[in-house]
Amino acid sequence: MIIPREYIQDACDTVRADGGTIVFTNGCFDILHAGHVRYLRAAEAMGDFLVVGLNSDASVRRLKGEGRPIVPEADRAEVLDALRAVDIVTVFDEPTAEELVRLVKPDVYVKGGDYTVDTLPEAKIVQAAGGRVEFIPFVEGRSTTNVIERIKSGK
């Protein structure tokens, strides 16, 4: 389900009241590929309810540069929402997902293996609230940048 940010806390509180474990991850998810799907399946397996924070188009441009995202945020959200692993998608515009993490209060915060606790400002928020941070190994050769480069090169 794609929901506006103002409803995310209520949705998570309902899951928590029912005894569910909330898992949160965030990212750009531009040009969805097998690496993304494997990552989201692994994240889903760490709890009962997976919340995905999706970087807005403006946020992706700030992170990745002009020309990105390739796929607009509404389409990226719709594709993520169609995946069985994902329970809720919400879009955020800030440079980091810190404010969204404060609202979700995840039991588990998941990121790719190319990050560390020291490079994630969200990690401190999760840990201070009693949650844990988990890293999923990066899938070599599976990235949006690689897909874009293959398209550009015609190979």
Return the domain boundaries, the chain: 5-148
Place of tokens 């995946």: 83
CA distances from 98 to 83, 84, 110 (A): 24, 25, 13
Within the chain, residue ranges assigned H as helices are: 8-17, 34-44, 57-64, 73-82, 98-104, 121-128, 144-153
Question: Is pLDDT above 90 for 133?
Answer: yes
Distance CA 155, CA 151 (A): 7
What integer pLDDT is reported at residue 99 of this predicted model?
96
pLDDT mean over 140-151: 68
Question: Is pLDDT above 80 for 144?
Answer: no
User: Tens digit of pLDDT for each residue in 89-105?
Assistant: 999 999 999 999 999 99
What integer pLDDT is reported at residue 8 of this predicted model?
96
User: Tens digit of pLDDT for each residue in 20-66?
Assistant: 999 999 999 998 988 899 999 999 999 999 999 999 999 999 998 99
Domain 5-148: CATH class, spelled out: alpha beta
Gyration radius (Cα) of the chain, Å = 15
0.85 cut: is pTM over it?
Answer: yes
Residues constituting the chain? 155
Q: Work out the mean pLDDT of the chain and round it to a whole number.
A: 92
At 114, is the pLDDT very low, low, confident or very high (cuts 50, 70, 90)?
Answer: confident
